[in-house]
């Protein structure tokens, strides 16, 4: 309906490259979800870096402080892009999980990074379909950091880096 805001899931069309065609308003809504996830990451990294306990976690605790600063830069960049597209950046983070178990905190972070990487990969494809090539490049730069975070967290947990490639990307 004209004049009625659409949800990001409304009126999507799949392109031959597997990307979802969106309107600019739908892209703004999805970028705001990404921004809320960046806020979540900032809060989690700040809190987790201070509450991780034990000698085995001191190196990763220091690294999480660095990650927090990188996530702040991502949030600023995504906010700027939302404004560029004519939207208003969200001010609400996604919920942050807490635990007394240091490994569990790192697993929470790893799960969040996996989700962030999947979403930003999709966002790159969506931006390119809309002709927003510069925005796609900004997101690619963020992806480099997010994948480094993923590697750091997987290494700290002693697990393989998760394959977050979607079926759509494998095709």
Q: Quick: pLDDT tens for 18-65.
A: 555 799 999 999 999 999 999 999 999 999 999 998 899 999 999 999
All domains of the chain in start order, with CATH: 21-164 (1.20.1260.10)
Question: Cα–Cα distance between 14 and 28 in angstroms, integer?
Answer: 18
Q: What is the per-residue pLDDT across 104-131, written as a single tens digit (0 to 9) for each?
A: 999 999 999 999 999 999 999 999 999 9
Whether the predicted pLDDT of 137 surpasses 60? yes
Q: For residue 6, is pLDDT > 60?
A: no
In terms of pTM, does the model score above 0.75? yes
CB < 8 Å & 24+ apart, contacts of 136-143: 138/77, 138/81, 142/74, 142/77, 142/78, 143/117
Give the pLDDT confidence of 72-105 residue by residue, as tens digits. Answer: 999 999 999 999 999 999 999 999 999 999 999 9
Task: Record the tokens describing residue 170, joined without a space.
Answer: 């494998």
């Amino acid at each position: 309906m004209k004049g009625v805001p659409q949800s990001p899931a409304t009126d999507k069309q799949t392109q031959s490259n597997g990307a979802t065609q969106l309107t600019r308003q739908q892209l703004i809504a999805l970028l705001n979800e990404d921004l809320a996830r960046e806020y979540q990451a900032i809060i989690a990294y700040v809190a987790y870096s201070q509450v991780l306990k034990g000698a085995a976690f001191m190196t990763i605790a220091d690294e999480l402080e660095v990650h927090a600063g990188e996530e702040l830069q991502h949030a600023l960049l995504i906010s700027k892009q939302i404004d560029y597209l004519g939207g208003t950046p969200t001010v609400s983070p996604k919920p942050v999980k807490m635990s007394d178990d240091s490994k569990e905190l790192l697993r929470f972070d790893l799960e969040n990074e996996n989700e962030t990487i999947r979403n930003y990969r999709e966002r790159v494809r969506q931006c390119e379909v809309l002709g927003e090539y510069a925005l796609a490049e900004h997101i690619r730069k963020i992806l480099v950091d997010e994948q480094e975070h993923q590697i750091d967290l997987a290494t700290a947990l002693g697990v393989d880096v998760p394959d977050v490639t979607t079926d759509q990307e494998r095709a």
